[in-house]
Amino acid sequence: MSTMPSNDHFLDAFFSVPNTTWPNREGSHPSATYLERFLGALDERGEAPLVLPRKDSGWPTACAYIVCWTPSHAARMRTLIYAAVAQNWAEFDGRLARLRADDPIDAAVLAAFGASTTYVLRPPTPSAQQGMFTALNRLVSTLEHRPPRISRIVRPVGRLLRDFETSLAAGQAATSLELLEDIERTGGISHENIAFLRIRRLGQLGEDDEILQDAALPTVVLTEPPRMVREAILAAWYRASTRDRPDSAELVDRMRAYPADIALLVDGSLVMTDSADAWAAAAIVALARGDASLADGLLGNEVEAPKALRGLLDEVARKSRHPSPYAAPAEERSRATEAESPESEPVAEMEATDTKPAVNSWLSWLASLHSDHADSPEVDLAATWPAPGEVDAELATAIDELPDSAATRLFAGLGAIIDCDEYAKPAWRTSEALIRRHLVGDSLTPSDLGAISALMAIFLRGGPNVDAYRDVLDYLTDKDFRGRWASVATAPAAIDIADLVVTSPSADRTVQQSFVSTALDSLHAQRHRLTEADRVLGELATSDVDLQWDWSIDTDTDTENEAESEANGFPESILLYSLETAVLARAKAAVERLYPGVHVSVSSAKVGNDTLRDQTRRARLIVLATRRATHAATGFIQAHAREARIAYADGCGSGSMMRAIEKGLRFTDE
């Protein structure tokens, strides 16, 4: 076995402390002969990846670093690795490892191969470890004689942006991060817009400290960012600044002293925000400025806010001698603006005749999609339109009437449609039309699967009639479409969708049972490849529709004893958070069955309260299913989480939440 000097340097670093698998790379050590089989890939750098073991002192098993040569090579390896080891030997969800620069082993890989090239597999038991490395050996043997592929198909940045918006609206934390990283690598978008996307995502996760520590923040506040970005920054500042419960005067001082001039983010458009924390930050700005008009406008917003702050605003607003333009209805403000600038009116009218029709509603946007040059709806603007549920039937008809050539333009606005759907008045007909459109597309990416789950949640929450219920479920289980979402490779998404159907009101019990049977049949047949949590969820779902399927698999006694021993290290209390109460109930039942010693609290509160604060402070693990940030209490939870580990579901259903719970428990135990 021979390696180039640069390879030797890398291997010396990788097998250094704390990695104990090959101490000092001694030639007489048993690992020297065993690893020769894998290290040949380092010289060839062909299609086979480099497989390296790592086991630190105290670890029960060795993990496997699967190092690829480029990000495109890593993308090709994803499905092959899944087929080789997933569920049989180690959990693998297809995500690249986030290597840490402060870890010496991770740092060695980053220095030699860069980011976005490496997967890390962690077998749960010694017997699984042996099986995993045997399977990886077979994979390397199969690939080592295959010629390397050098072509790389780069996804257009427009498609990446579309998928990012969709995954964000569907609550896919990990998928949205991967897409954001892809957008940065692909280029074609300014640094400011990258920062906008990053802050929006962090705001949805409630990552206040990450937002406030972002190096781009001082620049972002000067660039007139979109309203959702401004609300995310202001809400993060307010929550972070009120952790020690200062009074309003102290908050004003802190606003003035803050390094980034975030007061520049506040203008009249913020008076109608539905984020209580962003409203409170805008109120502090109004107090700092003594801005009576802004104060008056904020008082017209009925968002839940501290009474003391409203009282102070009222004092400032009384100083105003004229009615506030912010408090007036939108049409009155529009007439007032036109009256103040009569000279600009003819110019605006002339310009309007030379441009495409204005897009000022969901229906007008759909009408614009008949043109090849239609734009996706701006999220800030779409949020001001009547919710899709207000014109549900008309929207569904308009979607059905769109030509196939408009599908790409339609899906560019899918994230905005999901994000703007009102919980109390779901646009179920629109969701039905979009699900049908989705399934006939060329491929289903992870963000597409997340979108279908989110659309199904809207559809079922709307209480569709019997005919629509049958049509959608029959369409999803059609033999031409079922294999694209109901398979072991997409198990979390398949369980998300099937369990949504089970836990939602049924318009036809027979159709419901038939759907679950068809959707989960392939998963049940290959249940030995599923995680234990997936099998438990499958059993709960099928038993709820009177399907007495056996989801158990044969396991050896040693594996059961090791799993029971590991459970002793799990946290005593965990908190599950989602706006979907049925998902919480299902996940709670699964956790209590899998980990009977763990106390599970659940919450679907849209705003922080004393109960949620107590639950958060007691929890040692918190799992969040994040969707609309302004309609959720994720920021409040983050602010009171103390030392708890926080994990995020990569979707809105029970399968996605259980994957996050399992991952969170595993890392908490370590």
Phi, psi of 358 (to 5 degrees): -65, 140
pLDDT, average across residues 516-541: 90
- Residue 353 forms part of a structural domain: no
Paired tokens of 228: 């959702």
Paired tokens of 645: 């580990």
- Residue 167 forms part of a structural domain: no
Q: Is the pLDDT of residue 47 over 70?
A: yes
pLDDT, average across residues 500-529: 91
**How many residues make up the chain in this entry?**
670
Q: Where are the alpha helices (DSSP H) in 504-609?
A: 509-525, 532-544, 557-567, 581-594
pLDDT score recorded for residue 3: 38
Q: Is the pLDDT of residue 35 over 70?
A: yes
Q: How many Cβ atoms are within 10 Å of 240's Cβ, its own excluded?
A: 17
More confident call, 86 vs 14: 14
Domain's final residue, options 481, 515, 544: 544
Q: Distance between CA atoms of 43 and 370, rounded to whole angstroms?
A: 54
- Do 516 and 564 lie in a common domain? no
Q: Are the C-beta atoms of 68 and 47 separated by less than 8 Å?
A: no
Q: Distance between CA atoms of 593 and 387, rounded to whole angstroms?
A: 40
Spatial CA neighbour of 426 closest among 398, 393, 466, 468: 393
Q: Is the pLDDT of residue 611 over 90?
A: yes
pLDDT in tens, 199-234: 999 998 889 999 999 999 999 999 989 999 999 999
Q: Is the pLDDT of residue 497 over 70?
A: yes
Q: What is the pTM of this model?
A: 0.72
Q: Distance between CA atoms of 622 and 649, rounded to whole angstroms?
A: 11
Burial 468-491, CB ≥16 within 10 A → b, else e: bbbbbbebbbeeebbebbbebebb
- Do 525 and 563 lie in a common domain? no
Q: Are the C-beta atoms of 207 and 624 separated by less than 8 Å?
A: no
pLDDT score recorded for residue 4: 39
More confident call, 564 vs 625: 625
- Do 393 and 309 lie in a common domain? no
Residue 637: exposure state from Cβ atoms within 10 A (0-12, 13-18, ≥19): buried
- Residue 176 forms part of a structural domain: no
- Do 205 and 304 lie in a common domain? yes
More confident call, 566 vs 300: 300
- Do 516 and 635 lie in a common domain? no
pLDDT score recorded for residue 430: 96
| Residue 159 Cα distances to 24, 271, 403, 448, angstroms | 47, 34, 19, 12
- Do 540 and 562 lie in a common domain? no
Q: Are the C-beta atoms of 454 and 652 separated by less than 8 Å?
A: yes
End-to-end CA distance of the chain: 35
How big is the CA angle at 137 (ends 135 and 143), to the nearest 5 degrees?
A: 105
- Do 216 and 321 lie in a common domain? yes
More confident call, 545 vs 560: 545
- Mean pLDDT score of the chain, rounded to an integer? 84
How many DSSP H helices and E strands does the chain contain? 33, 7
Q: Where are the alpha helices (DSSP H) in 144-247?
A: 157-169, 173-186, 191-205, 208-212, 217-220, 227-241
pLDDT, average across residues 126-154: 77
- Indicate the range of 95-104, 252-261, 636-645 predicted with least confidence: 636-645
pLDDT score recorded for residue 87: 66
Phi, psi of 596 (to 5 degrees): -60, -20
Q: Are the C-beta atoms of 493 and 439 separated by less than 8 Å?
A: no
Find where tokens 């779901």 sit. Answer: 426
Contacts 24+ apart (CB under 8 A), 109-115: 109/14, 109/65, 109/67, 111/10, 111/13, 112/6, 112/10, 113/67, 113/68, 113/69
Q: How many Cβ atoms are within 10 Å of 393's Cβ, its own excluded?
A: 10
Number of domains the chain contains: 4
Confidence of residue 67 (pLDDT cuts 50, 70, 90): very high
Q: Distance between CA atoms of 70 and 74, rounded to whole angstroms?
A: 6
Q: Distance between CA atoms of 115 and 117, rounded to whole angstroms?
A: 6
**Residue 39 sits in which domain range?**
5-143
- Indicate the range of 13-27, 196-210, 474-488 predicted with least confidence: 474-488
Hey, is 398 helix, strand or coil?
helix
- Do 273 and 395 lie in a common domain? no
Q: What is the CATH number of the domain that holds 647?
A: 3.40.50.2300
Domain's final residue, options 84, 116, 143: 143
Q: Distance between CA atoms of 519 and 473, rounded to whole angstroms?
A: 10
- Do 278 and 414 lie in a common domain? no
pLDDT in tens, 402-448: 998 888 889 989 999 998 998 889 999 999 999 998 887 656 778 88
Q: Is the pLDDT of residue 344 over 50?
A: no
Under DSSP, the state recorded for 425 is B
- Indicate the range of 295-304, 306-315, 390-399, 566-575 predicted with least confidence: 566-575
Paired tokens of 324: 């506030």
Q: Distance between CA atoms of 21 and 18, rounded to whole angstroms?
A: 9
pLDDT score recorded for residue 630: 52
Q: How many Cβ atoms are within 10 Å of 634's Cβ, its own excluded?
A: 24
What whole-number percentage of the chain has pLDDT above 90? 45
- Residue 346 forms part of a structural domain: no
- Residue 356 forms part of a structural domain: no
Domain's final residue, options 510, 544, 578: 544
- Residue 365 forms part of a structural domain: no
Paired tokens of 143: 């690939």
Q: Is the pLDDT of residue 358 over 70?
A: yes
- Do 21 and 129 lie in a common domain? yes
Q: Are the C-beta atoms of 18 and 57 separated by less than 8 Å?
A: yes
**465: β partners:** none
Q: Distance between CA atoms of 464 and 168, rounded to whole angstroms?
A: 26
Q: Is the pLDDT of residue 106 over 90?
A: yes
The alpha-carbon radius of gyration of the chain (Å, integer) is 27
- Do 526 and 571 lie in a common domain? no
Residue 558 CA, distance from chain mean position: 36
Find where tokens 């497989």 sit. Answer: 51
- Do 104 and 217 lie in a common domain? no
Q: Is the pLDDT of residue 246 over 70?
A: yes
Find where tokens 């929450």 sit. Answer: 461
Q: Is the dihedral of CA 252, 257, 258, 261 positive or negative?
A: positive
pLDDT score recorded for residue 569: 59
pLDDT score recorded for residue 40: 82
pLDDT in tens, 142-189: 887 665 554 445 678 888 999 999 999 999 998 899 899 889 888 888
- Residue 639 forms part of a structural domain: yes
- Contacts of residue 299, defined as CB under 8 A and 6 or more positions apart, other chains included, come to 310, 313, 314, 317, 327
- Residue 208 forms part of a structural domain: yes
